Structure 1
Amino acid sequence: MFKKLTALFFILPFSFSVFGQDNLSPKQLLTEMLAAQNKLNYEISYVQIAGAEIDTFRYRHVYNEGKSYAQLATLEGGKQEIIQRDNLISYFHSNYSPFSISGSQIIDNLPNIVNADFSRIEKHYDFINMGRNRIADRLVQTVRILPKDNFRYQYVVFIEEKTHLLLGSDMLDQDGNLLERFRVVNFYIDDQMTQPLTDALSKLPTPPVLDKATPPKNKLSWQAGWLPQGFAVLNNYLTKTDEDTIESRLYSDGLFSFTIYVSNNILPENQENVWKQGSFTIYSESMKDKEVTIIGQIPLTTAKRIVQEIKSN
């Protein structure tokens, strides 16, 4: 009950008369938010809560001569760092060797709302202006992103009025229960940080770039018989070992995503396995001579229906 009341408190707008209304539409606010995240020079410190896990991070971003540079670092526990230098993302972690991948933006440990395609998802979500609120001692506009069906989650986002930076977000399930929370506790914008941060990140060594996985030449042996509207395949892969063959497909609707894995190793006694961690659902079920597993940010009921309607080619 406490969690539900807490979530309700954060999505209800303040009603003080001193608060006015932003003249931008909800979609315009969201679009301006993406532009601010990608083009401004800023530093934020934030807390991310997912299930029982609470983590703190610092994120620095500069935009210089058409290129983005960013640094994401943990503030507690073992030091972990992710560096963006234009279209190269490098990972530094105490538990494994550093590596790099191609990418246009850091997506780890940030709410996936900052990578959403709002023109695409507006067919399947409503954008609702919830009025003003306050985050990190700043006035914010509150926008609720509500799915038009019951097969996916929802978002409440808090956009700073002057800069349009994202200062907070809540991912909620179909009943309004909190799944994941992002809260900025301190931030500043400073164009003078552009050159020092660009120079510092450019001088760092570049870990080896991982080879991209190669999509299979032939079609996979299965296809999804049912998907919520708007979800489409982003990529598919085939992995073979001495003991197993695993076929996988990644799907997204422009906001949420999930991956389906089909393996030759089946679960014992045709059992099913379910695991939930914050916004992530993992569901496995044996079907004939295959084991099907789905992992992603979707409700369990949706995951079960997708798995149970897998069709063989």
Structure 2
Amino acid sequence: MFYKLSTFGFFILFSLNILAEASFSEDPKILLKNMHDARKSLNYEMAFITTTANSIEALRYRHINNGGIDYAQLVTLDEGMQEIIQRDNVISYFQPNYQAFSINGGQIIDNFPSIMWSDIDSLAKNYDFVNFGRNRVADRIVRTIRVLPKDDFRYQYLVFIDEENSLLLRSDVLDREGNLLEQFRVVNLNMDNNLTALFSYFNQIHFPPLLEDSTKQNLSDISFNWTPTWLPEGFRLVNKSIISDNNNQIETLLYSDGLFSFNLYVSNGLIPNETEKALQQGALTIYTNSQNNKELTFIGQLPISTARRILQDIRFK
């Protein structure tokens, strides 16, 4: 049986709905910062999948914070087992057919979206954060936030944060038309304040030695005779390097805006003044052209149109 609401009754329900929405209204920047804190401070286990243009991977991540010290484990769930283990600020890699090694690092970043550790205040200079309401992921209620670039030169993010514990349960990388390029999605989440078995496991592992870091060199110590004269606002130089490959020297610059990153490569052209080549695989762009008998290559997470403009505006001294 259906009952007809009076005008007054409809007004009351409408008002209550507005108040309910208002009570859930929070600053999206605060939600994102809470997500960062939850990732490091909580004890939990999650199974998740990552989807790109040419691969789908299933993984399990377990994290413990004990006395302010992070312990974590990331393992693949299909085919040959690959494992990454974190103890405090040391990350160790174990892979079949490869020698195990360790590096210094504050968190395991492999297979996770960069929004999980990006500086939100810094991103706010070039991105807008929009509260997109509530949704449901892995049978849990989430808050949805859209991270929108303030220009047309990069992609956008859609972020789904657990309303109860602030953990990231899903993220989508979208192009400007809203097409899905990459996805991180949690399929099962277990909040566990003990995870004692993980400690026992760590105590049985022989951890490999640290790799010698040969990249610790001041950026000013490396100079190239070329430079990009245009970049989207907010991208900063992160690293420079020189790679020798079959008597061909490859010069590399790495840039990031804190959310997306790309590399620029310049080497001797195998075919002088070769025409441009472009490949788009999900969020990954590979774009190549020639200039001054040099081969210029862009590899990174930006649209082809942006990659083309960056390479076209490289100038040689």
Q: Do Structure 1 and Structure 2 share a fold, with TM-score over 0.5?
A: yes
The Cα shift of 1:286 comes to: 1.5
Q: Tell me, what secondary structure is at the counterpart of 2:74?
A: strand
The Cα shift of 1:88 comes to: 1.2
Q: Tell me, what secondary structure is at the counterpart of 1:192?
A: coil
Give the number of equivalent residue pairs: 296
Structure 1 CA distance, aligned partners of 2:237 and 2:99? Answer: 31
Q: Deviations over 1:33-61 (max 9, x none)?
A: 01101111100001111114211110001
Alignment of 1:279-294 (within 5 A): 279-294=283-298
Structure 2 CA distance, aligned partners of 1:268 and 1:95? Answer: 39
Tell me the residue number matched to 2:110. 108
Question: Structure 2 residue aligned with 1:251, among 251, 255, 280?
Answer: 255
Structure 1 CA distance, aligned partners of 2:168 and 2:190? Answer: 12
Question: CA 1:286/1:167 → structure 2, altered by over 3 Å: closer, same or farther?
Answer: same
Tell me the residue number matched to 2:146. 144
Question: Structure 2 residue aligned with 1:238, among 207, 221, 242?
Answer: 242
Question: Structure 1 residue aligned with 2:157, among 138, 155, 171?
Answer: 155
Question: CA 1:312/1:268 → structure 2, altered by over 3 Å: closer, same or farther?
Answer: closer
Sequence identity, in percent? 49
Moved more, 152-161 or 303-312: 303-312
Structure 2 CA distance, aligned partners of 1:121 and 1:266? Answer: 39
Q: Tell me, what secondary structure is at the counterpart of 1:213?
A: coil
Compare relative contact order (CA 8 Å, sep 6+) and give the higher one, 1 or 2.
1
The Cα shift of 1:147 comes to: 0.3
The Cα shift of 1:209 comes to: 2.3
The Cα shift of 1:306 comes to: 0.6
Moved more, 30-39 or 200-209: 200-209
Question: CA 1:196/1:261 → structure 2, altered by over 3 Å: closer, same or farther?
Answer: same
Q: Deviations over 1:159-191 (max 9, x none)?
A: 011100001111101111100111111111111
Tell me the residue number matched to 1:3. none
Tell me the residue number matched to 2:76. 74
Tell me the residue number matched to 2:14. none
Structure 1 CA distance, aligned partners of 2:276 and 2:103? Answer: 34
Structure 2 CA distance, aligned partners of 1:271 and 1:93? Answer: 39
Question: Structure 2 residue aligned with 1:300, among 304, 308, 312?
Answer: 304
The Cα shift of 1:269 comes to: 5.4
Question: CA 1:24/1:248 → structure 2, altered by over 3 Å: closer, same or farther?
Answer: same
Q: Which amino acid aligns with 2:309?
A: R
Tell me the residue number matched to 1:310. 314
**Cα pair 2:272 2:293 within 8 Å, conserved:** no
Alignment of 1:79-228 (within 5 A): 79-193=81-195, 195-214=196-215, 215=217, 217-228=221-232
Unaligned runs of 5+ in 1: 1-16
In terms of Rg, which structure is larger? Answer: 2
Report the TM-score when normalising by structure 2.
0.88
Structure 1 CA distance, aligned partners of 2:182 and 2:245? Answer: 35
Q: Tell me, what secondary structure is at the counterpart of 1:97?
A: coil
**Cα pair 1:266 1:286 within 8 Å, conserved:** no
Structure 2 CA distance, aligned partners of 1:192 and 1:272? Answer: 55
Q: Tell me, what secondary structure is at the counterpart of 2:194?
A: helix
The Cα shift of 1:63 comes to: 1.0
Runs of 4+ in 1 over 6 A off after TM superposition: none
Over the residues paired in the alignment, what is the CA RMSD in angstroms? Answer: 1.8
Q: Deviations over 1:203-257 (max 9, x none)?
A: 4222232222334734122111100000000111122355111111111101111
**Cα pair 1:213 1:237 within 8 Å, conserved:** no
**Cα pair 1:48 1:182 within 8 Å, conserved:** yes
Structure 2 CA distance, aligned partners of 1:24 and 1:158? Answer: 14
Moved more, 111-120 or 202-211: 202-211
Unaligned runs of 5+ in 2: 1-16
Question: CA 1:294/1:95 → structure 2, altered by over 3 Å: closer, same or farther?
Answer: farther
**Cα pair 1:158 1:166 within 8 Å, conserved:** yes
Q: Tell me, what secondary structure is at the counterpart of 1:270?
A: coil
Report the TM-score when normalising by structure 1.
0.89
Structure 1 CA distance, aligned partners of 2:275 and 2:173? Answer: 30
Q: Which amino acid aligns with 1:160?
A: D
